[in-house]
Structure 1
């Protein structure tokens, strides 16, 4: 069960918990409403027995045991016809309200669900196996979902109110959370959760899942081992971070790696990893520290490689400088719909850095620094696939010269709605084969590409 260390709970969490648990009992007419009324009655009595001041002194296990026993006693006194299973469900619901995410907790506990989207208190959607569908959960009212949002952000020392109606946060398990409240959110409080996945797939495992061919997995592994500069491009939820984690498997354990992220998601298995995270401005007035400042500081920390979770602004210039000054093999992700769009977006980000260079000079720097763009896409059947592995060869006049080493060739959609296609190799030797030769990987590269 997702939970927090109750001994470290803040007073603001306790206050929010009290608000979310103190609710009036509604009139009911259906069987489901009778069950809800029963829950509300038990809930109110529980709060009289286990007050918030007691909650913060109990471990999650102690709280679960005490709640289960109290639910049984109340049900017997009120003569509620509940069995052991319903007693356990009610006590679990109560604990979720006090320590977890209330109605969302059951969704957090489901490993198949990757995203949870709350659109006001009546609508909750999930992404399950690549498809978005409505979840069979809801909140009591707007105050219920707003209290949960406040409790989430209070855990990281922030607040959400009319002065700060948008907040990014992170749950203790690493899941990313975005909160948007009225008046900006017209339909009520919105909570978007991108769940943290403890399981990290290797390139071979992603190939087995159909995200790429085994030959593409071999080439990407060689790219990582040969210290090729890589940019992973794709839309939201396309699997960029998942692929970045998989690529990192090819990094030598002898290298010092520094990761820079807005919300730490990368879990590298190498022994020498320094993870750095940006900091938003605090309510006490402490200034925000962004990726650009962290990237500049990382260059003073003697890194062998720098992995930037996502490049989205002026830090692109510092990333390109790092790749050009002995930190080859660096990796990052970027939001774009194609390799060409990724190059244009990268240009725009370099211009955001207020570098007094003409576009032609910026393009020369990109073409000489960046080696490969890997384009990932979540397709309409819900499956994530690598649709291009594209090498940047250089410039032809003022235009980028690129080669697709691999691309996904769509053929048709079968009766089940699944996309059928094949991953095709261009069977050409890339420019970075010189790096592969240096690391004694050229023969393996030729074999994976089908080059004689």
Structure 2
């Protein structure tokens, strides 16, 4: 037998094995289904063991540098603003569309992908075992023709995110909105001045999307059904909200993506969300065991600001957060998140529910020095005022546009006027359009609540200069902040010298008997440094 005949016989054996692995009626992997995906170039083969998890590596490029395209042009020829890579994906963002391009697999690699994914799913294995599976199935040569693309599609097939997986990988996407039968919309962090823009990914029709969101809810540890058509959960660190079409015009899904690394208080100051003086004032209120409400419309950064403030609290404090959907992730050694639980089926007893009120009682027993409630809406507000009445620091995020709207809603929820004295400070956030067209998040006002329940404006946003200006001195604390150039400005997270061993001086900024607190400790450090114990870094 000649060498050519031997190679032909071997190739025929591989094709026969592939055909035997493909069961009739089994769904084919949807490879390269995103419109505009170009053919991927051949990649050199490597060891099978290298088929490990794909990291969402980000390579930002200036328009026109990727793929030899003209400056500012996407693959479809539309004018582009941003063009970058996320792993094997190419992303082109214009004011009118977000376009993601997936790699193409050759036919042999597609067939191998189907067999490997089926094997991994059957044996309950993760994508990190893709190389071993390909080796056992005799498909290693096909898998290694385009190893990076092959790994991506294995992970996509095994991920609960399915067709949304490319958007989940992109760290620049803030929000994903899905409605049955429509293009998926996104909010892009690097496209200021724009809200939702459509993508080249289409949501499946009603029935398919309903099945998809039910699987997604199950992966997040909850359930959605005609009896319970609304679900809120966390999956892979992102907030998921599902509404079935039985109570809406169409089944819809919203995914709020949180940054992989939470923004610290120094980041927010550098971005201009608030001034250093305002940040020090808010920290001093919390160190004085006061209560702070952070209010504003949706998407204005309320949780981001609360998270950043919590990171700066003393490392020997215990911080307790009560959340419906977990969003707070402060880098603090003594942070505890308590989560509300609701019955998600008709067979489940109401006794299985865990309410805000239950968790507030637990928080008190945990003896924390700080308690926070996120997305407060109802009677749990009264419970938070009880925490404040016990003399512990507390905070809440709340949907309101200003102090007057907040006060009106608190009174309707049962908070008496004489209880408002427990509320020390109200921070108002909003989205602001700057002169250059960018839309940014800003603290637009900070109020001090007087003992009679009236407000006193301390800080006001100046839109002309894009700065937060102090217009009055607070009366409930002694406030003498240091200049912005003084001291170290490092954050209070792990690795910054802010652990318990560096906390000896932080008590110098806590409240005195009359409730006052000074902005500088005995070593001359600002509250931003002393509270987090970072004065020696």
Normalising by structure 2, report the TM-score: 0.64
Aligned match of 1:161: 225
**How far 1:198 sits from its partner (Å)?**
3.2
CA shift in 2, pair 1:194/1:429, >3 Å: same
Structure 1 residue 386: Cα displacement: 0.6
> Which residue is equivalent to 2:56?
none
Alpha-carbon separation, structure 2, partners of 1:437 and 1:32: 61
Q: Give the Cα separation in 2 of the matches to 1:74 and 1:147.
A: 35
Match of 1:390 among 409, 434, 447: 447
Find the aligned partners of 1:24 and 1:104 in 2 and give their Cα distance: 15
Structure 1 residues 156-305: aligned runs within 5 Å: 156-171=220-235, 173-187=236-250, 189-283=251-345, 284-287=347-350, 288-305=353-370
8 A Cα contact 1:222 1:250, kept in partner? no
Q: CA RMSD in A?
A: 3.8
Residues 1:41 and 1:387: Cα distance change in structure 2 (over 3 Å): farther
In our comparison, the structure showing a higher alpha carbon Rg is 2
**How many positions carry a matched residue from both structures?**
394
C-alpha contact (below 8 Å) 1:169/1:177 kept by paired residues: yes
Residue 270 of structure 1 and its aligned partner are, at CA, apart by: 3.0
- Bigger mean CA offset, 51-60 vs 330-339: 51-60
- 1:302 Cα deviation after fit: 2.1
Report the Cα distance in structure 1 between the residues aligned to 2:461 and 2:412, rounded to whole angstroms. Answer: 28
Which structure 1 segments of 5+ residues have no match?
A: 1-17, 77-82, 352-361, 412-419
Which residue in the other structure is 1:60 paired with?
A: 127
| Structure 2 gaps, min length 5 | 1-22, 40-101, 480-508, 527-537
SS at match of 2:446: strand
Counterpart Cα distance in 1 of 2:111 and 2:231 = 31
8 Å Cα contact 1:407/1:425 also seen in 2: yes
d(CA) in 2 for partners of 1:168 and 1:148? 15
Equivalent in the alignment of 1:442:
518
Q: Please say if residues 118 and 125 of structure 1, whose CA atoms lie closer than 8 Å, have aligned partners that are also in contact.
A: yes
1:423 aligns with 2:463: no
Q: 2:27 aligns with which of 13, 18, 22?
A: 22
- Aligned partner of 2:200 in structure 1 is 136
Q: Distance in 2 between the 1:99 and 1:285 partners?
A: 28
Which residue, out of 374, 394, 407, partners 1:309? 374
Compared with structure 1, are the counterparts of its residues 63 and 322 closer, same or farther at alpha carbon in structure 2 (3 Å cutoff)?
same
Q: Contact 1:261 / 1:278 at 8 angstroms: preserved in 2?
A: yes
Tell me, yes or no, if the aligned pair for 2:180 and 2:204 is still in contact at 8 Å.
no
Q: Offset at 1:229?
A: 1.2
One of 310, 325, 328 as aligned partner of 2:390:
325
User: The residue matched to 2:336 in structure 1 has which SS?
Assistant: strand
CA offsets 1:234-270 (integer angstroms, 9 cap, x no match): 1111111100011112321222222111122212333
- 1:339 paired residue number: 403
Q: 1:135 to 1:324 in 2, by over 3 A?
A: same
Q: Is the 8 A contact 2:116 2:134 kept in 1?
A: no
Report what 1:406 is aligned to: 459
